[in-house]
């Protein structure tokens, strides 16, 4: 079987919707299972709905209008949407009574309507095209998760439940991305951008021969095309390269997407719904073909980071110092990205600093603590690239040439990723500069030509 996941722009623009429906019809010999995101912009709208009690009436009308108009444009009858819209109206009636911002469980319930409406429309679109299909809410199909609302993680038993819940086929299941359910039946979400992860979890559970991520770019590109318009698709990446890029800000894949694919060794393909003939990117366990192995493949960046430095002349070399620091972060559920150490200090970067305050109070008992905000990490990724003699020198010479201050550098044990931290305002400049400076804007001609450039 094969999983085809369509993101918000793929299901939220009528011309792309038609192409997406056709892709599923053409995949019928591969026993397709479809995963869909909410229509483009809808999850943001629902997040605003949760945040702004005074705006709920207006936003609810906008939500209903958006789906009715879209269905009309996509040739799907309003009747097909009736039950899903009724579910929404019931939710809205309940939430209107609550004058507070919604968080946790009620927020996840509200957000879930984006994917539920979109799955309903997509399944109806498939049936219009002669494909037997049914919309399924992921939790009802067996995607059980823990109860960390807003960032839920699938439970091990989800695999067996999904195998049962998604058969027999056809009809083709059109599963809501982004959603799960606790074992006692409460809807959860997997984190923003989580539909990619849903697709991979389902692909692994059903032992897919391929997981296809259909989006608005022709694969994983050499940089975010919104930052670097001349970015080029990367034909082939290893699981590790793609994971590093996703972790360090390449939004095209949710950072957890590759985990289930790695476990079951399932190839992941990233494809462009608007240009379905483009080859896209293939992501597999095997390393890069030799001709490209010299090469930095892509540069990612992620803003909104906070760096915490703990300085302790007294403690650093003492037994258990690092363990104590990480025990504090762990206990407060603070996720650490990058780590660098010197003889008297340790610095870490943190993406989500919502739980940081409590951890800081404890860290102050270990050493002097410095916090810097509004930072970004830039990651230069390519299997083997960081080990190339001269790459680090080249990167930091380029940055020095334009006066960018580098706050932290991490290469660590990774053979794949050279990353560094800069001020947030400098991040895009760095990505553009390195993309050109490392030759990513030109086609890899041969190993020799590439080596000369690097
Ligand atoms: P979808 O709705 O299909 O899930 P997303 O908006 O979540 O799409 O992800 C696609 C976007 O990711 C692209 O439009 C692009 O701006 C961004 N992006 C960031 N880094 C990369 C990259 N290396 N390759 C491709 N896209 C990237
Ligand atoms: N609709 C959700 C979001 O916008 C999930 C996804 O698109 O992957 O975050
Ligand atoms: Mg996405």
**How would you write the pLDDT of the chain (454 residues) with one tens digit per residue?**
999 999 999 999 999 999 999 999 999 999 999 999 999 999 999 999 999 999 999 999 999 999 999 999 999 999 999 999 999 999 999 999 999 999 999 999 999 999 999 999 999 999 999 999 999 999 999 999 999 999 999 999 999 999 999 999 999 999 999 999 999 999 999 999 999 999 999 999 999 999 999 999 999 999 999 999 999 999 999 999 999 999 999 999 999 999 999 999 999 999 999 999 999 999 999 865 545 556 799 999 999 999 999 988 776 566 778 888 999 999 998 989 888 887 778 999 999 888 899 999 999 988 899 999 999 999 999 988 777 778 889 999 999 999 999 999 987 667 888 999 999 999 999 999 999 999 998 876 544 333 333 3
Pocket test for ligand 2, best of 107, 178, 190, 273 (most atoms within 8 A of CB): 178
Point out the ligand nearest to the CA of residue 221: 1
Report helix, strand and coil shares of the chain as percent, to nearest 5.
Answer: 40, 20, 35
pLDDT at residue number 444: 66
**CA 45 vs CA 55, 59, 234: distances in Å:** 11, 7, 32
pLDDT at residue number 289: 52
Q: Who's near 337: CB < 8 A, 6+ residues apart?
A: 247, 305, 348, 349, 350, 351, 377
Separation of CA 355 from chain center: 22
C-alpha 17 to ligand 2 mean position (Å): 17
Q: How far apart are CA 251 and CA 225, in angstroms?
A: 11
- What residues line ligand 1, using a CB cutoff of 6 Å? 7-10, 37, 193, 215-217, 220-221, 223-226, 245, 250-252, 298
pLDDT at residue number 231: 97
Q: Whose CA is nearest to atom 15 of ligand 1?
A: 224
C-alpha 37 to ligand 2 mean position (Å): 6
C-alpha 252 to ligand 3 mean position (Å): 5
Torsion from C-alpha of 141, 142, 143, 144, nearest 10 degrees: 140
pLDDT at residue number 446: 45
Give the DSSP letter of residue 256.
T
Buried b (16+ CB within 10 A) or exposed e, 127-136: beeebebbbb
Compute and round to an integer the Cα radius of gyration of the chain. 23
pLDDT at residue number 279: 96
Q: Whose CA is nearest to atom 5 of ligand 2?
A: 193
Pocket test for ligand 1, best of 39, 251, 282 (most atoms within 8 A of CB): 251
Pocket test for ligand 1, best of 225, 271, 427 (most atoms within 8 A of CB): 225
CA atoms within 13 A on the CB side of 35: 30
Q: How far apart are CA 263 and CA 311, in angstroms?
A: 39
User: CA 85, 87, 90: angle at the middle one, nearest 5?
Assistant: 110
Q: How far apart are CA 388 and CA 404, in angstroms?
A: 23
C-alpha 325 to ligand 3 mean position (Å): 34
Which uninterrupted H or E stretch holds 417?
strand 417-423
């Amino acid at each position: 079987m094969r999983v085809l996941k369509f993101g918000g722009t793929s299901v939220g623009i009528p011309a792309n919707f038609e192409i997406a429906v056709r892709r599923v019809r053409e995949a019928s010999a591969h026993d397709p299972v479809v995963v869909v995101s909410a229509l483009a912009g809808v999850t943001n709208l629902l997040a605003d709905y949760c945040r702004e009690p005074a705006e709920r009436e207006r936003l609810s009308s906008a939500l209903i209008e958006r789906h009715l108009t879209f269905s009309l444009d996509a040739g799907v009858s309003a009747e097909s949407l009736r039950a899903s819209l009724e579910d929404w109206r019931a939710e809205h009636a309940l939430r209107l009574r609550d004058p507070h911002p919604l968080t946790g469980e009620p927020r996840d319930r509200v957000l879930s309507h984006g994917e539920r409406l979109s799955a309903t429309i997509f399944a109806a679109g498939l049936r219009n095209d002669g494909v037997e299909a049914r919309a399924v809410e992921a939790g009802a199909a067996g995607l059980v998760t823990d109860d960390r609302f807003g960032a839920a993680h699938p439970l091990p038993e989800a695999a067996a439940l999904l195998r049962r819940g998604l058969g027999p086929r056809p009809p083709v299941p059109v599963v809501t991305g982004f959603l799960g359910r606790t074992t006692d039946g409460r809807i959860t979400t997997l984190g923003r951008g989580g539909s990619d992860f849903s697709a991979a979890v389902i692909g692994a559970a059903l032992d897919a021969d391929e997981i296809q991520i259909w989006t608005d770019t022709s694969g994983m590109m050499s940089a975010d095309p919104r930052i670097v318009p001349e970015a080029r698709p990367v034909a082939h990446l290893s699981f590790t390269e793609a994971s590093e890029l996703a972790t360090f800000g390449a939004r095209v894949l949710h950072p957890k997407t590759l985990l289930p694919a790695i476990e079951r060794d399932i190839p992941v393909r990233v494809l462009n719904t608007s240009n379905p003939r483009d080859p896209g990117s293939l992501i597999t366990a095997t390393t890069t073909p030799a001709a490209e192995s010299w090469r930095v493949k892509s540069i990612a960046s992620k803003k909104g980071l906070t760096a915490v430095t703990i300085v302790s002349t007294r403690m650093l070399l003492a037994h258990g110092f690092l363990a104590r620091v990480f025990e504090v972060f762990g206990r407060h559920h603070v996720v650490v990205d990058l780590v660098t150490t010197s003889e008297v200090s340790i610095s870490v970067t943190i993406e989500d600093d919502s739980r940081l305050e409590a951890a800081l109070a404890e860290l102050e008992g270990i050493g002097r603590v410095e916090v810097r905000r509004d930072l970004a990490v830039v990651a230069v990724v390519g299997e083997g690239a960081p080990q190339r003699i001269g790459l680090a020198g080249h990167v930091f010479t380029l940055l020095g040439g334009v006066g960018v201050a580098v706050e932290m550098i991490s290469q660590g044990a990774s053979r794949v990723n050279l990353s560094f931290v800069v001020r947030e305002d400098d991040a895009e400049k760095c990505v553009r500069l390195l993309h050109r400076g490392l030759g990513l804007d030109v086609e890899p001609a041969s190993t020799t030509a590439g080596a000369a450039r690097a």
